[in-house]
A and B are shown apart, each in its own frame.
Chain A
Amino acid sequence: MSNNSQQHGLKTARLWRALIYSVLIIMAVIYLAPLFVMVVTSFKSLDEVRTGNMMALPLEITFEPWLKAWQSACLGLDCGGINGYFWNSLKMVVPAVLISTFLGALNGYVLTKWRFKGHQIIFGLMLFACFIPFQIVLLPMSQVLGWLGLANSTSGLVLVHVIYGLGFTTLFFRNFYEAFPNELIRAAVMDGAGFFKIFRYILLPNSAPIIVVTIIWQFTNIWNDFIFGASFASGEAAPMTVALNNLVNSSTGVKEYNVHMAAAIIAALPTLLVYVVGGRYFVRGLMAGSVKG
């Protein structure tokens, strides 16, 4: 091996590294571009949006679009901004996430630690429920919500999200508890602990990672949902996503792109926040679930 070829090898290796880094960085720029454009647009005046470059930083930063989006933008006839819908979403997402997570934990516990005949079929049926296109339940559900007096209400949406979230939460907890040592449960039974005591004192204290994953998953899914919101809660009770879509597509007057972008960012903030704070656990947990099989 001559010194020359070694140096040559080093050179190509360096070239490769440079290439790899450039591809990664170019991709990062592409992934960031739409978010960047949203943010800068939301701080520009409408004049600047119309005359300036989309990628340019605002010449003069204005918070007007944000204020307008929050409290005075018109969605159809209602000119109260999106704040009411933001709270609608929050009122929907908190109970729906808590209830579906709790039920999922109980179901996962039964399906792994207290198996009975047919548990596999029950689990299979619940699992398939995760994957159905929701179009298949829209028509009956709108009828049933009408009968229950829950049409066009946040409580109706909570019910819907709890029901169609059960499959996923059960799946998460079942996969997690599957790996939990049965010996501990058996020992507890020997000591006379009952069904709920074991759940409360042995499983729950060890469930933090999966609870975090389930809560993040459910929170993002329910907050981001559009189809249920659009089908079952129009008008006053609409969630944030539906309101955003109405705002952007209301055809009256000038298109206020800066206000639209501010509203879109407001709609995205809760899930982005959850993602930034809990993203690491989320990815780790999802990986454990999806790569396992």
Chain B
Amino acid sequence: MKNSSNPKPADKAIAWLQTQLPKLVLAPSFSIILLFVYGFIIWTVYLSFSASRMLPNYEWVGTEQWERLWNTLTWQTALDNLLIFGVLYIVLCLAIGLLLAILLDQKIRLEGGLRTLYLYPMALSFIVTGTAWKWFLNPGLGLERTMQEWGFESFEFNWLIDPDMAIYTVVIAGVWQASGFVMAMFLAGLRGIDNEILHAAQIDGAPTWKIYTRIIIPQLGPVFMSALIVLVHLAIKSFDLVIALTGGGPGNATALPATFMYSYSFTRNQIGVGASSAVFMLITVAAIIVPYLYSELKGSKK
């Protein structure tokens, strides 16, 4: 009683600590993020305007590195490849994922087992996936010879070493790895749809395909959005898969911005150019992620 009517400084300090404690707990993590994410972003942006080559050099040279980047042929190839890879990867993953989810939603007996099967590639490292597909698509020993031995003697499949086609092998392996995950997202979305509307439509005699195209798929909008965000961001970051599958080759045929950044920064001693390419990657990701996060956070405030 004495304490409460006449608080000692120590108690005051404890009371202060109690109110500040949550902030103190959050502070280390938040400072780490500020420094190692946002601080590093600024740092890399600065490097992209510096004279850095083999070692970081903080002399400001304006847009020299950026000009160098855009005049590099490999960078142009990397952007073209990203467009081809990104569009095909996203469209195919969404299409296959949605198809599998709808099929699995038809009260399938082995649903659990099949779902697990479609999803397992997602648990693997891209390096493992790349290694496996490299072997599977090996022009001399893999699929090509298997098909020939099975009687399709004119079967040819040498995309892996064909500069014009190699990027499509990256698409195949990428879709194989991620489509199961998209399937799982759609399946969860399908399960979340209100059954009563479906029953009503069924009683009205609407055919199944019509129920899907008119009622169910339009309701999957938010899932489409989440899947799209995940896939866009995976496509832009794709690095390991290319390294393991094609090493960026043949030549530079499968170079992507991520592999470009790595090779210019760490093996070609062009840190400035590497930094510019990294900044460009961040801008592309941010252009898609920031509006999405903003709407999500605003939405959750309500």
CB-defined contacts of A180 to chain B, threshold 8 Å: none
Q: Decide if the interface of chain A is mainly helix, strand, loop or mixed.
A: helix
User: Is the CB–CB distance between A260 and B135 below 8 Å?
Assistant: yes
The residues in B between 34 and 79 inclusive whose CB is less than 8 angstroms from any CB of A are 34, 36-41, 43-44, 47, 56
Is B194 engaged at the interface, CB distance under 8 Å to the other chain? no
User: Is the CB–CB distance between A31 and B271 below 8 Å?
Assistant: no
User: Which stretch in B86-94, B161-169, B285-293 binds the other chain?
Assistant: B285-293
User: Which stretch in B3-11, B115-123, B197-205, B210-218 binds the other chain?
Assistant: B115-123
Return B135 CB to nearest CB of chain A, in Å.
6
Chain A's closest residue to B104 (CB) is A24
A5 to B198, alpha carbons, bound, how many Å? Answer: 25
Given known A28-B117, A137-B40, A139-B43, contact A261–B18 (CB-CB < 8 A): no
Select B136's contact among A20, A34, A137, A195, beta carbons within 8 Å: A34
A34 to B128, alpha carbons, bound, how many Å? Answer: 11
Given known A267-B128, A293-B299, contact A20–B185 (CB-CB < 8 A): no
CB-defined contacts of B40 to chain A, threshold 8 Å: 136-137, 140-141
Given known A24-B100, A143-B56, A231-B262, contact A126–B141 (CB-CB < 8 A): no
Per-position contact with B for A138-154: 1 when CB-CB < 8 Å, else 0? 11110100000000000
Is B251 engaged at the interface, CB distance under 8 Å to the other chain? no
Per-position contact with A for B10-28: 1 when CB-CB < 8 Å, else 0? 0000000010011101101
A286 to B116, alpha carbons, bound, how many Å? Answer: 14
Is A38 engaged at the interface, CB distance under 8 Å to the other chain? yes
Is B282 engaged at the interface, CB distance under 8 Å to the other chain? yes
Is B297 engaged at the interface, CB distance under 8 Å to the other chain? yes
Is B85 engaged at the interface, CB distance under 8 Å to the other chain? no
Is B231 engaged at the interface, CB distance under 8 Å to the other chain? no
Return A234 CB to nearest CB of chain B, in Å.
10
Select A133's contact among B127, B131, B141, B258, beta carbons within 8 Å: B258
CB-defined contacts of B136 to chain A, threshold 8 Å: 33-34, 37, 54
Chain B's closest residue to A32 (CB) is B117
User: Is the CB–CB distance between A133 and B118 below 8 Å?
Assistant: no
User: Is the CB–CB distance between B125 and A139 below 8 Å?
Assistant: no
Select A114's contact among B22, B56, B271, beta carbons within 8 Å: B22
User: Is the CB–CB distance between A125 and B34 below 8 Å?
Assistant: yes
Per-position contact with A for B129-166: 1 when CB-CB < 8 Å, else 0? 10111111010011101100110000000000000000
User: Is the CB–CB distance between A128 and B289 below 8 Å?
Assistant: yes
Residues of A that sit less than 8 Å from B by CB: 17, 20-21, 23-24, 27-28, 30-35, 37-38, 41, 49-50, 53-55, 103, 106-107, 109-111, 114, 116, 120, 122-129, 131-141, 143, 163-164, 166-167, 170, 194-195, 220, 223-227, 230-231, 241, 244-245, 248-249, 257, 260-261, 264, 267-268, 271-272, 274-276, 279, 283, 286-287, 290-291, 293
- Given pairs A136-B44, A139-B44, 7 additional interface contacts (CB within 8 A): A54-B142, A122-B26, A128-B293, A133-B282, A136-B278, A139-B271, A275-B119
